[in-house]
Amino acid sequence: MRRSDEALIVIDVQNDFCPGGALAVAGGDEIIPRINALMAEFQTVVLTQDWHPANHTSFAANHSGASPFSLIEMPYGPQVLWPTHCVQGSAGAAFHPALRTDPAQLVIRKGFRAAIDSYSAFFENDRVTPTGLEGYLRNRSVTAITLVGLATDFCVAYSALDAARLGFAVTVLDEACRAIDLNGSLAGARVQMLAQGVRLA
Ligand code: VGL
Ligand code: ZN
């Protein structure tokens, strides 16, 4: 059993990010047995759930003429336009049926505001609007987090970078993550995470 100041944060293990889903990550479902086993080791387990309204600004379908995986400029910075995914209440937004959800004490939903995306479990993509996770973890005296889930180069990396910036000791368990890898995004995310003191295990 891990110390009580360590938390496991499971990022976006949802149907739409697994094979057959709207924004499928290759091998996304392969990590689930490992994640399920890890949950038993941690006293604090948090799940995140990408949770967008149908009119979300990150969907290419909501920008006329735009194709998925293209980039646009938003007031808060560059934004990748994605295929429509993880729409609130849809089957694609549900956790993968093989993922154990009972051990989790908290589910953080993110990306629920139409005008702004939220990759990180800690802040929306403006990097300042909090999700509340920092307060929850500090309130429970958590100082170290282990991140697993989908996708390594987007929601996992953004969460890791924010957590490191906030002063948490951060480990990304690579074998329990899978990446989208868009135009070198995985290599870029790794470089940034290592530069910020994130441990890639
Ligand atoms: C994610 C793209 C869009 C992720 C979520 O979970 O990494 N990526 N929304
Ligand atoms: Zn999303």
Query: What domains does the chain contain, in order, with CATH numbers?
Result: 6-52+95-200 (3.40.50.850)
Is 110:131 a contact under the CB 8 Å cutoff? yes
pLDDT digits (tens, 9 = 90+) for 72-101: 999 999 999 999 999 999 999 999 999 999
Nearest Cα neighbor of 159 from 118, 104, 105 is: 118
Nearest Cα neighbor of 200 from 177, 174, 178 is: 174
Protein residues placing their CB within 5 Å of the ion ligand 2? 50, 111
Q: Is 110 in the active site?
A: yes
> What ipTM was estimated for this complex?
0.98
Ligand at minimal distance from the CA of 120 is 1
What predicted TM-score, i.e. pTM, was given to this entire model? 0.98
pLDDT interval class at 188 (50, 70, 90): very high
16, 29, 86, 110: the active-site residue: 110
CA distance 97 to 116: 28
CA distance 95 to 145: 21
Task: Output the CA 1–ligand 1 centroid distance in Å.
Answer: 30
Q: Which pairing describes strands 71-74 and 77-80: parallel, antiparallel, or unpaired?
A: antiparallel
Q: Is 12 in the active site?
A: yes
Nearest CA, atom 6, ligand 1: 155
Strand partners, 170: 145
Is 144:168 a contact under the CB 8 Å cutoff? yes
Nearest CA, atom 8, ligand 1: 154
Predicted pLDDT of residue 1: 94
Ligand at minimal distance from the CA of 18 is 1
Task: Output the CA 192–ligand 2 centroid distance in Å.
Answer: 21
Q: Is 155 in the active site?
A: yes
pLDDT interval class at 110 (50, 70, 90): very high
pLDDT digits (tens, 9 = 90+) for 11-24: 999 999 999 999 99
First to last CA, the chain: 18
pLDDT digits (tens, 9 = 90+) for 112-143: 999 999 999 999 999 999 999 999 999 999 99
CA distance 194 to 92: 32
Atom of ligand 1 nearest to the CA of 58: 3
Q: What is the DSSP letter of 59?
A: B
Using a 6 Å CB cutoff, which residues line ligand 1? 12, 17, 50, 82, 119, 150-151, 154-155
